[in-house]
């Protein structure tokens, strides 16, 4: 956890800073009061000249890292350049100029909340840190439309009223006098520069994998059996033959879930010991509450709960780090990239026509979301403010009509500030914009949540595909190379490592938690649905209980938000809240 507060003296009576003035170490900066708290992991703080430097890294900085950081700051090197592959968040306070600069790594698994007012600046990587510091922690109701549509709120907004959230790779310069942002620089798309774009991704990933295995010899790899995780496991196996792999499974509810066999088949070929982590209905319900408490925000993937349980088990097995393939899709090429590339000729024509915008509401109303329905009904131009733009279809889970009916909101509310997030990349190709959106929104949010879940169990999460050094080399590779076949770069690397063609080219399977097991009346989530009627209309919740994906995802989001509010606003403990859920479940089971 990192918490930084900079305030002009004297501190007003009753201000939030009084809540932590005794426990947070201060720097003597004349008429400025600088208070800093770092967590038990790899936070650092120091003075470099007259500057106060504070941050967090993914593991302890080497002496050479510290020396390079000091030299870079004294030479005026931009902070976002200084982050490298190891530093997650970096804050530099210049008391003489009354300016604070904060840089957030594109690879950070730290959320970074911030707020500025005249004479006051606060940033934190922990919601509980803000709460302990005396700040009000409350859900911002204006973000609800976007949250129900996409299952999370994309930066620069946050779910917290009164706080913004840094996007991955963003740099802010804040002036304390007037309490305003002086500079807002978004993540810089790598242009290649002196780097030769190559199609051998294994040589890029190998140093990152090796570094983590050297730091944490007992580290393991999350292996689903898919291409991205399989490449990490294959590289780890070469570096450390005794590396272990693990996966999770929804088989406690869905006996047809085949992810364990998918992962085991790859593990058998690689010759690694693989463990499938199963669970129970009750442990999943308790784990859901625990995971929201640890992540400090709603966990938008149902699988996140399973990962939380897996991390708990791995911590008991003394695994200090886990390598994960999250983020690979958005840089190597995902289904959206393949769709755009396959239909690039038709899309170039449609960009000049208006017929697609007219068809979009009709297609949504009819639920006609086939490949051609998507192609003909979306906008592909640079007008990103339109809710019918192709980009805003990506990652959309909630039913648009249901959300607008429940909240009486317009299309702009559904998008939130997502157009602003991509504003810096409006001149890039649509394929690049898909990558930027994935990296900066769902990819970054997922890594932040999973990183928090791992950290709560005493484990560090490594996502080598999104390391800045990897991004710098992979992103400039032309799309005609990356899309030569689906996930060409990863498949080519696996072939070079001797993985059989049958495993390299096998069809990608979709594993998950089918709606029928948790959303309908009497299903797994019924106890929480009954509790949520305290704050949501019972009839509205009941109308969402079924097997229709768009409706059930709205239900999932509402229940996540309800549990979050119980923990962070009402102040209930994990034991109390999960205990009530399980008591209700057992009572219902006895009455059947």
User: Structural domain boundaries of the chain?
Assistant: 2-185, 201-280+304-331+442-504, 334-439, 515-591
Which pLDDT value is given to residue 315?
A: 83
254 pLDDT higher than 90: no
DSSP 61: P
25 pLDDT higher than 60: no
By the 8 A CB rule, do 394 and 132 touch? no
Handedness of CA 530, 532, 534, 535 (dihedral sign): negative
CATH T-level topology, domain 2-185:
3.60.20
User: 370-382, pLDDT tens digit by residue?
Assistant: 555 666 678 888 8
In this structure, CATH architecture of domain 201-280+304-331+442-504: 3-Layer(aba) Sandwich (3.40)
d(CA 435, CA 189): 10
SS3 at position 99: strand
- Closest by CA position to 496, among listed 191, 194, 198: 198
d(CA 324, CA 298): 21
Which pLDDT value is given to residue 541?
A: 96
The strand pairing partners of 205, in sequence order, are none
Which pLDDT value is given to residue 374?
A: 66
pLDDT category, 44, cuts 50, 70, 90? confident
355 pLDDT higher than 80: no
What's the average model confidence in pLDDT over 579-583? Answer: 97
Which pLDDT value is given to residue 21?
A: 38
Per CATH, 2-185 and 201-280+304-331+442-504 having the same topology is answered no
By the 8 A CB rule, do 513 and 549 touch? no
């Amino acid at each position: 956890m990192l918490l930084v507060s900079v305030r002009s003296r004297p501190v007003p009576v009753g201000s939030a800073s009084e809540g932590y003035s005794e426990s947070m170490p201060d720097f003597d900066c004349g008429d400025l009061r600088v208070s800093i708290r770092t967590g038990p992991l790899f936070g650092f703080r120091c003075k470099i000249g007259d500057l106060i430097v504070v941050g967090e890294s993914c593991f302890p900085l080497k002496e050479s890292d510290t020396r390079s950081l000091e030299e870079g700051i004294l030479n005026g090197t931009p902070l976002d350049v200084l982050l490298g592959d190891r530093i997650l968040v970096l804050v530099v306070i210049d008391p003489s100029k009354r300016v604070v600069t904060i840089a957030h790594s594109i690879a950070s698994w730290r959320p970074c909340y911030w707020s500025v007012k005249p004479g006051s600046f606060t940033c934190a990587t922990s919601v509980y840190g803000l709460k302990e510091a005396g700040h009000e922690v409350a859900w911002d109701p204006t973000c609800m439309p976007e949250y129900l549509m996409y299952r999370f709120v994309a930066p620069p907004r946050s779910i917290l009223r009164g706080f913004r959230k840094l996007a991955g790779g963003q740099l802010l310069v804040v002036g304390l006098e007037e309490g305003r942002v002086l500079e807002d620089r978004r993540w810089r798309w790598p242009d290649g520069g002196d780097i030769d774009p190559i199609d051998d991704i294994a040589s890029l990933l190998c140093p990152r994998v090796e570094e983590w295995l050297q730091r944490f010899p007992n580290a393991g790899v999350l292996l689903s059996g898919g291409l991205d995780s399989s490449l990490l496991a294959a590289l780890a196996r070469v570096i450390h033959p005794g590396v272990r792999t693990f996966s999770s499974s929804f088989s406690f509810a869905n006996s047809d879930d085949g992810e364990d066999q998918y992962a085991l088949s790859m593990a058998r070929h690689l010759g690694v010991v693989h463990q499938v982590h199963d669970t129970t209905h009750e442990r999943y319900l308790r784990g859901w509450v625990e995971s929201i408490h640890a992540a400090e925000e709603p966990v938008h993937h149902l699988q996140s709960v399973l990962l939380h349980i897996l991390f708990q088990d791995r911590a008991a097995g003394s695994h200090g780090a886990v390598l994960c393939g999250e983020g690979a899709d958005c840089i190597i090429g995902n289904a959206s990239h393949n769709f755009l590339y396959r239909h690039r000729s038709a899309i170039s024509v449609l960009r000049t026509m208006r017929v697609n915008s007219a068809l979009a509401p009709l297609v949504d109303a009819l639920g006609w979301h086939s490949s051609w329905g998507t192609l003909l009904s979306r906008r592909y131009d640079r007008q990103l403010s339109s809710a019918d733009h192709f980009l805003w279809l990506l990652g959309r889970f909630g039913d648009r009509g249901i959300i607008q009916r429940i909240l009486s909101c317009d299309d702009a509310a559904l998008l939130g500030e997502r157009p602003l997030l991509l504003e810096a990349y409006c001149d890039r190709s649509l394929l690049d914009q898909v990558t930027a959106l994935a990296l900066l929104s769902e990819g970054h949010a997922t890594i932040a949540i999973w990183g928090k879940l791992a950290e709560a169990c005493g484990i560090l999460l490594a996502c080598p595909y999104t390391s800045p050094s990897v991004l710098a080399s992979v992103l400039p590779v032309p799309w005609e190379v990356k899309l030569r076949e689906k996930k060409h770069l990863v498949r080519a690397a696996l072939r070079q490592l001797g993985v059989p063609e049958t495993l390299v080219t096998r069809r990608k399977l979709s594993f998950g938690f089918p709606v029928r097991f948790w959303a309908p009346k009497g299903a797994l989530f019924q106890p929480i649905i009954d509790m949520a009627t305290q704050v949501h209309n019972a009839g509205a919740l009941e109308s969402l209980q079924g097997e229709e994906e768009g409706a059930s995802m709205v239900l999932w989001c509402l229940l996540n938000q309800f549990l979050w509010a119980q923990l962070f606003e009402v102040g209930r403990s994990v034991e109390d809240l999960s205990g009530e859920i399980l008591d209700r479940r057992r009572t219902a089971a006895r009455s059947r």
